[in-house]
């Protein structure tokens, strides 16, 4: 990196400009904003503190850390992994390369689950493929009477989710289980009020079209939905059918062109398609189905 070998004690403002310039050189989006996030992380400062102290010299150790972060971001490591957090549904969650980075569109699952459970006292909810725990924790935080089970095949992901649940004070109401889809709760058939899931749904031949931050750094099992993107969903829907109580709901995220095919898969179960909700980009994103 240009100028990395001569950090010295330069001002925070100068470091910010240099970091933004380095990110801009490799066409990282929003280079100044991302450089600011990394500088704040290196310094341990809030945004307000940084903006009011741009003229202050930065200790060499913090400066060196900042430039290391900039160099890794130039290598397309996601900024969320570099700072170790991502906001979801108003909550700051720890994220590591063991978990998918929560996306804004996934917040729609939480919105729809809250809507369908509005008249259900003490709902029992299962989050399938919980990753960072973002959906389960947001639901536990918003629905104080809810009981949740969060399932993931990755023990490393579950460790991150447990940590996030402790930070947000909902660990006592979430049981974390390791296993494939709904297998860990096979004995609870007909006892679940809602199942929520953001399953892997990217077709294998589209993985290469994703940004390097995604395909090179986020966990492949959380992305790949097999040849047509529906491999996991095809296995999940029959298990959902068996597990939901009569009147229970499924709220599930899908890919950009999968609504029609997912509706066809639902028709092979006893579930009824209720609606598909579009994300802010107008793309059909959240499928809601219920069990008669």
Kindly list the domain boundaries of the chain, sorted by start residue.
12-75, 86-290
In the chain, the DSSP E strands lie at 85-88, 91-94, 124-128, 147-152, 174-178, 192-197, 244-253, 272-278, 284-290
Residue 287: strand pairing partners: 252, 276
Structural domain 86-290, CATH architecture: 3-Layer(aba) Sandwich (3.40)
Q: Which comes out higher in pLDDT, residue 187 or 142?
A: 142
Q: What pLDDT is attached to residue 260?
A: 97
Q: What pLDDT is attached to residue 13? A: 96
pLDDT at 136: 98
6 pLDDT band (50/70/90 cuts)? very low
State pLDDT tens for residues 79-118.
Answer: 999 999 999 999 999 999 999 999 999 999 999 999 999 9
251-268 confidence digits (pLDDT tens)? 999 999 999 999 999 999
Q: Given this model, what pLDDT does residue 194 score?
A: 98
Q: What percent of the chain has pLDDT over 70?
A: 97
In angstroms, the CA 23 to CA 38 distance is: 11
* Banded model confidence at residue 189, pLDDT cuts 50, 70, 90: confident
Average pLDDT, the chain: 95
**Cβ contact 245:117 at 8 Å:** no
Whether 95 and 164 have beta carbons less than 8 Å apart is answered as no
pLDDT above 70 for 53: yes
Look-up of token digits 């003490």: 122
Under the banding of pLDDT at 50, 70 and 90, the label for residue 8 is low
- What is the arithmetic mean of pLDDT over 64-74? 97
Where are the alpha helices (H) located in 193-230, listed in sequence order?
212-215
Chain segment 108-149, per-residue pLDDT in tens: 999 999 999 999 999 999 999 999 999 999 999 999 999 999
Q: How confident is the model at residue 1 (pLDDT cuts 50, 70, 90)?
A: very low
């Amino acid at each position: 990196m240009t100028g990395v070998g001569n950090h010295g004690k330069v001002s925070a403002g100068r470091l910010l400009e240099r970091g933004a310039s380095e990110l801009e050189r490799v066409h990282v989006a929003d280079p100044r904003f991302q450089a600011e996030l990394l500088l704040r992380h290196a310094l341990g400062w809030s945004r307000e503190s940084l903006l009011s102290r741009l003229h202050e010299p930065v200790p060499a150790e913090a400066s060196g850390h900042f430039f290391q972060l900039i160099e890794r971001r130039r290598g397309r490591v996601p900024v969320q992994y570099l700072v170790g957090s991502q906001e979801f549904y108003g909550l700051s969650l720890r994220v590591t390369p063991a978990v998918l980075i929560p996306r804004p569109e996934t917040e729609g699952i939480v919105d729809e689950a809250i809507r369908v459970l509005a008249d259900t006292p003490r709902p029992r909810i299962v989050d399938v493929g919980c990753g960072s725990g973002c959906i389960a924790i947001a639901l536990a935080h918003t629905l104080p009477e809810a009981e949740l089970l969060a399932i993931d095949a990755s023990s490393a992901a579950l460790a991150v989710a447990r940590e996030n649940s402790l930070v947000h004070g909902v660990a006592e109401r979430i049981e974390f289980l390791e296993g494939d889809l709904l297998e860990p709760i096979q004995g609870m058939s007909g006892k679940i009020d809602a199942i929520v899931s953001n399953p892997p749904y990217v077709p294998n031949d589209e993985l290469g079209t994703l940004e390097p931050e995604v395909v090179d750094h986020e966990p492949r099992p959380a992305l790949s939905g097999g040849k047509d993107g529906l491999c996991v969903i095809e296995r999940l829907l029959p298990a959902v059918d068996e597990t939901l109580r009569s009147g229970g709901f499924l709220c599930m995220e899908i890919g950009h062109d999968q609504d029609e095919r997912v509706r066809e898969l639902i028709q092979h179960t006893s579930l009824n398609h209720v609606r598909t909700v579009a994300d802010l980009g107008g793309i059909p994103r959240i499928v809601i189905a219920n069990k008669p």
